[in-house]
Amino acid sequence: MEKIDARKLGPEGRETLRKMVLRLNTQSGMTGVELAKIAGVHVRTVQAWLRKARTDGVGALVEKTRGRPYGACRKLTMAQEVWVRQRIVAAVPEQLSLPFALWTRRAIQALVEQQFGLQLSDRLVGKYLKRWGYTAQRPVKKAMEQRSDLVQAWLRERYPAIATRAKAEGAVIYWADETAVKEDTNWIRGFAPAGRTPVLEASARWAKLSMISAITNRGEIAFQIVEGTINAERFIEFLERLIASAASKVFLIVDNLRVHHAKLVQAWVETRRAQIELFYLPPYAPESNPDEYLNHDFKTALRLEPPSRDDSQLLKKAHAIMDRIASLPERVRSYFEHPAAAYAA
């Protein structure tokens, strides 16, 4: 009989081999040594098969599935994976209030943390992307051209019309935006001897704080820091405070975040048109919002100070930084000097 090489067999082949060895042993009475030569396995392996069949029955030699079950030990549940994949396909980070132009690993990490409170490593995000069949690709040029056209239309037509109306009605124009209040070290650098990376202690806890702010080109600023994310109710609460403190009607310019278009928000604004109106920046143009540069200034200051020990200390520090910025109107006016925001100066 031809000798079989057991090393070339898969799980089903090995199971068939074991059954053959047992059948030959029963029918011919071959010894373990003879069966091992035919099966192409070590004699001790054959003896173990025969012994297990005698004690536990032939069924004990059935090939068992090895390794972890499919989907086990994943950090994201299947439903969470589906949710993330749908967002990557259907939206860009800016639409979900994330400070990224395209879906990078960092952007996906921020999305998962924002939605599920989970922190994923770069390597784990890479594994998920590979499993989903997603690859890094350059954006199509047509999208960039479309974005450029929308921005140019905003600069030439839309914003001048808003400014003309504001002047005629005695309204003040505010630009508003939201951001997470978070301490990390992504944006800052510190000097150290060559080859010795500086170490910055950071809390392992991530407080769920968010800030919404609004500024004018005259250096005025309004802000509110809340626990959790900015939803329709919290946005309305901010609007109420804004019009209560304003001496005249407010023209508020915001991006296209879903909260800004919420039906609850639209209904609230509609009943207060004498006090406030909302206007929307062109899509995918966060650099056109001067308040973006306030957020960058705020986050840099937050990360450069000693890390907070708890949530209340973080909240107190955030308020102190914003109060300091608000006391410097010339600093607020400087955000309008950025080339992409100079149109609003």
Q: What is the pLDDT of residues 310-338, one digit of tens each?
A: 888 899 999 999 999 999 999 999 999 99
Identify whether residues 118 and 178 lie together within a single domain.
no
What is the chain's alpha carbon radius of gyration, rounded to the nearest angstrom?
Answer: 32
Task: Tell me the C-alpha distance between 298 and 332, whole Å.
Answer: 11
**Domain contains 259:** yes
| pLDDT of 281 strictly over 60 | yes
What average pLDDT does this structure show over 170-176?
97
User: Domain containing 166 — which CATH number?
Assistant: 3.30.420.10
At residue 2, the pLDDT reads: 47
Alpha helices by DSSP H, listed for the chain, are 11-28, 32-39, 43-56, 78-90, 105-116, 122-132, 141-153, 159-169, 232-245, 263-270, 291-304, 311-326, 329-334
Identify whether residues 55 and 85 lie together within a single domain.
no
**273, two tokens:** 């048109």
Query: Are the beta carbons of 282 and 152 closer than 8 angstroms?
Result: no
Name the band, by pLDDT with cuts 50, 70 and 90, for residue 51. confident
At 175 the three-state DSSP class reads: strand
**Domain contains 142:** no
Name the band, by pLDDT with cuts 50, 70 and 90, for residue 25. confident
Query: From residue 130, how far is each of 72, 90, 148, 211 by CA, in Å?
Result: 17, 19, 32, 35
Percent of the chain predicted with pLDDT > 90 = 47
Kindly report the number of other CB atoms within 10 A of residue 268's CB atom: 17
Query: Are the beta carbons of 211 and 177 closer than 8 angstroms?
Result: no
Least confident of 2-11, 31-40, 66-75, 173-182: 2-11
Identity of the amino acid at 25:
N
Identify whether residues 167 and 302 lie together within a single domain.
yes
Domain that holds residue 30: 6-61
> What single-letter DSSP state applies at residue 155?
I
Own/partner long-range contacts of 79-88 (Cβ < 8 Å, ≥24 apart) = 80/112, 80/116, 81/128, 81/132, 83/115, 84/108, 84/111, 84/112, 84/115, 84/128, 85/132, 87/111, 88/134
Identify whether residues 251 and 316 lie together within a single domain.
yes
Identify whether residues 167 and 31 lie together within a single domain.
no
Name the band, by pLDDT with cuts 50, 70 and 90, for residue 19. confident
**Domain contains 1:** no
Name the band, by pLDDT with cuts 50, 70 and 90, for residue 10. low
- pTM of the full predicted structure? 0.56
More confident residue, 106 or 62: 106
- pLDDT, one tens digit per residue, over 284-299 is 888 999 999 999 999 8
Q: Is 183 exposed, middle or buried (0-12, 13-18, 19+ CB in 10 A)?
A: buried
Identify whether residues 226 and 254 lie together within a single domain.
yes
Query: Are the beta carbons of 321 and 295 closer than 8 angstroms?
Result: no
**Domain contains 139:** no
| pLDDT of 1 strictly over 50 | no
Identity of the amino acid at 110:
A
Query: Are the beta carbons of 303 and 185 closer than 8 angstroms?
Result: yes
Alpha carbons within 13 angstroms on the beta-carbon side of residue 72 total 5
What average pLDDT does this structure show over 178-200?
61
Number of domains in the chain: 3
